[in-house]
Amino acid sequence: MHDKLIKVVRTLETDYLPYGKVERHGSDCSDGCRHFVKVAGWTGDYWGVCTNPESPRAGLLTFEHQGCTAFEPVSLDLALSDSQLRSLISEATARLRDQRTESIDSAPTVKTPLPNANGQFMYFVRTSYSPLIKGHLPAIFRLEAYDGSFVAVLLLHASRKFGGTKPMVTGHFPARNGDVFKIVRENGDYSYQVPFNGKLHNLKQFGDLSKIGVAGLETLRRFLECAEPEAFEKITQTADARLKSAKRRQHECLDQVNRWHKQEFFRDETPTSERQYRRMLKEAEAEAEWLRARITEEEAFLEWLKGIDRSGPTLRSVPPPPAPRPRLKR
């Protein structure tokens, strides 16, 4: 049945690669989207229907890895029993472990991009919009550092790709470390895509700059000093949330390792052989060590953010150019 469905399922440009054209930067339906209604039978382990009216795949048969950026996690039912909670946690832990192993094993060798003679990297900048929402048409600017602040340069050669419910504005643009791309909509909404060493970091979707590294962040100090209060607050809040999540998971993982060393298992954890027990214990210990390093990185990032001078943010919403007038047919 899976082979039959994969041949007839409708694919959209907004699907994650390789089904569409969007690079996977977040969760997909398989991670527990609240809008993903599984079909009946064992086929429902992989297939469902999207019920999110904000998603391009609304009402469509969907493979769990097609995904979209409208993902919303399932809210936890407080009425669940302890055994049901343990089962959910164990299932989620196993899925994350399998995904991490799969991503490491299957990750292709990526060449490190090199800057041009002017110290610039090329970036593929894109942003989607809904033509049905008034004032939603976006424009792309590059913020270049100048005289203690930034100058907004409109990137006129951005192209609009129409089709589907969410077309896109895209383009390849050069930028130096320290420059920032700003997406501004006609209604004044804005977001940032931060370039560094050839990779973009989307602040609106994730608010995460920690992967750049503290040393590399120094090139963005001036931007963070000038950024709007709500933008800087989101960066700080998401970093604090990541730290709390990592500490919580580390506590759970260390408790799990301690129990397993004592041969104490929840009902759904019990290994079936000595070999499986050793593998489980090794993976849990490796995850605890990875979480320790992650916590150190997040703590260092938050400490660095505390040193940002926020006494005079100067960035404001950049007015976008007027929308192009439709050509009249003769």
- Specify the higher pLDDT residue, 325 or 179: 179
Residue 134, pLDDT score:
86
Q: Is the pLDDT reported for residue 64 higher than 60?
A: yes
**Band of the pLDDT at 97, cuts 50, 70, 90?**
low
Q: For the chain, what is the radius of gyration of the CA atoms? A: 23
Confidence of residue 107 (pLDDT cuts 50, 70, 90): very low
Mean pLDDT of 288-298: 89
What percent of the chain stands above pLDDT 90?
Answer: 27
Report whether the peptide linkage leading into residue 18 is cis, meaning its omega lies within 30 degrees of zero.
yes
pLDDT at 124: 93
135's enclosing H/E stretch is: none
Single out the residue of 209, 150, 202 nearest to residue 176, CA to CA.
150
Nearest to 24 by CA among 67, 75, 81, 56: 67
Q: What is the DSSP letter of 269?
A: T
> Which long-range CB contacts under 8 A does 148-152 form with residues at least 24 apart?
148/222, 149/226, 149/314, 149/315, 150/180, 150/222, 150/223, 150/226, 150/314, 150/315, 152/182, 152/318
Minimal CA–CA distance to 220: which of 179, 174, 173?
A: 179
pLDDT band at 196 (very low <50, low <70, confident <90, very high): very high
Tell me what pLDDT residue 180 has. 94
For 121-205, the fitting CATH number among 3.20.20, 1.10.260, 2.60.120, 2.60.40 is 2.60.40
205 pLDDT above the threshold of 70: no
pTM of the model: 0.60
- Beta-strand pair 199-202/159-161: unpaired
